[in-house]
Each structure stands twice: as structure tokens, then as C-alpha cells.
Homo-oligomer: A and B are copies of this chain.
Amino acid sequence: MTTSPLGTNTVTQIGLVVSNIEDTVRAWSALLGVPAPEIQITDTVDVAHTEYRQQATPARAKLAFFHLGQVDLEMIEPIGEPSTWHDQLKAHGSSLHHIAFHVQGMKDRIEALAAYDLSLIQRGDYTGGRYAYLDGSEKYGAIVELLEND
């Protein structure tokens, strides 16, 4: 039970954007002492329904996930643009991008969180679920990602 408009306060993922995911995955694999995860590519816009600032975008990304207990560490290399991934890599270089929470009722959460000054930057679908990035840079010091699995 929580009074959070997220419905949870458990951080489940930390994401970072990088310029070369193969190199970064290799580095983290050695640092964490675990096997390198497979590198995936997000679906094309017709499948992922990727939207950046309420407009369909062809932007994609290479992704890899290290599962570290409660928290997944996600590496993201942008492919194409526009996307929040591309924006951040261009503006700030390889860097921490978001912290994520698993939620239920994505649409209602996004609407409710507008009152908390968290505005939707980007959303999309993946097999078995969907994500949304909310811009909290100014007020929260971070992009907040919502993840919902079916």
C-alpha cells in the first residue's frame, strides 16, 4: 500500500545512454563479474508504436539488460532520431538517463502524473508490455520511466 501516484516506490531499473553499446556491455560485464547479456534492438515504429512528443518517430535503440536483484541496469544506444535517448546522448554524452518503476494502469498513471509536473516525452510498446518516459529533469533531477508488463 502506498499513497504514491506511481502506485509503488520500488525502483526497478536504471538506464543509461551510451555511444557504443557493445563496448559498454563488455566493460560492465567485466566490472560486475557476470556474463554479457544479449543485445536487442527495439521494434520498428509500426510494431512498437514509438512516439516522441506525441508524434510517431522512426527512432530505435539497441538495448541490453543486466539483472542485478531488484534493479536492472539497462544500456541504451540510440539508433536514428528523434528520441529522448538521442537527445541526451547528443547533449550530455554517455550518461545516466532514467530511473524506472513498474506500474499498473499506464494510461491513468500518465494522466495523474501530469499534476506532479511529469510530462510525457516518449512512449512505446515492447513484447508483453509498454513504457513511457516522463520528463522530471527540472523538478526531480531525473527522467522517470514507467514500465507496465501484461
A18 contacts partner chain B, Cβ-Cβ < 8 Å:
yes
Pairwise interchain contact A137-B94, C-beta atoms closer than 8 A: yes
**How many residues of A sit at the interface, in one of the four size bands?**
35 or more
Task: Specify how many copies of this chain sit in the oligomer.
Answer: 2
* A residues apposed to B, CB below 8 Å: 2-6, 9-11, 14, 16-18, 23-24, 27-28, 30-34, 66, 68-71, 73, 75, 92-99, 116-118, 136-142, 144
Complex Cα distance, B84 from A80, in Å, reads 31
Contact B71 A11 (CB under 8 A): yes
What residues of B have a CB within 8 angstroms of the CB of A93 in the complex? Answer: 137-138
Cα distance A6–B27 in the bound complex, in angstroms:
13
Given contact pairs A95-B137, A137-B94, A141-B95, A34 touches B16 in the complex (Cβ within 8 A)? no
Bound Cα distance from A99 to B28, whole angstroms: 13
